Amino acid sequence: MSGDPLPAGDGRGRARLAGALAVALASAALAYLRLTGAGVLAADFTWAWRGAQILLAGQNPYALIRPEGAYPFNDFLYYPLPALLIAAPLAWLSGPLAGAIFIGLSSGLLCWGLLRDGSHRLILFASPPYLYALISAQWAPLITAAALLPGLAFALAAKPNLGLPVLVAYPTRRRLLLFGATVAASLIVLPSWPMDLAGQISSHLNYVPLISWYGPLVLLALPFWRAAPARLLLAMAIMPQRLLYDQLALWLIPQTPRQSLLLTLAAWAGVILGLALGWGEAALVCTYLPALGCVLWERRAQIRGWGRRAP
In this structure, of 100-109, 197-206, 247-256, 283-292, the range with the lowest mean pLDDT score is 197-206
Give the integer Cα–Cα distance in Å for 244 and 280.
9
- Predicted pLDDT of residue 250: 98
Mean pLDDT for all residues in the chain: 93
| pLDDT band for position 13 (cuts 50, 70, 90) | confident
pTM: 0.93
- Predicted pLDDT of residue 4: 47
150 within 8 A of 3, measured Cβ to Cβ: yes
- Predicted pLDDT of residue 5: 46
The answer on pLDDT for 7 being more than 60 is no
In this structure, of 6-20, 116-130, 241-255, the range with the lowest mean pLDDT score is 6-20
- Predicted pLDDT of residue 306: 79
pLDDT in tens, 221-277: 999 999 999 999 999 999 999 988 999 999 999 999 999 999 999 999 999 999 999
**Dihedral angle over CA of 146, 148, 150, 154, nearest 10:** 0
The answer on pLDDT for 161 being more than 80 is yes
pLDDT in tens, 128-159: 999 999 999 999 999 999 999 999 999 999 99
pLDDT in tens, 25-55: 999 999 999 999 999 999 999 999 999 999 9
- Predicted pLDDT of residue 80: 97
Tell me the average pLDDT across 171-190. 96
User: How many residues does the structure list for the chain?
Assistant: 311
Q: Which residues contact 265 (CB under 8 A, 6 or more apart)?
A: none
pLDDT in tens, 238-254: 999 998 899 999 999 99
Q: Which residues contact 191 (CB under 8 A, 6 or more apart)?
A: none
Give the integer Cα–Cα distance in Å for 154 and 64.
26
Hey, what amino acid is at 85? Answer: L
Q: What secondary structure does DSSP assign to 274-311, as a single string? A: HHHHT-TTHHHHHHHHHHHHHHHHHTHHHHHHHHHH--
86 within 8 A of 158, measured Cβ to Cβ: yes
134 within 8 A of 30, measured Cβ to Cβ: yes
| pLDDT band for position 278 (cuts 50, 70, 90) | confident
- Predicted pLDDT of residue 310: 61
Tell me the average pLDDT across 70-85. 95
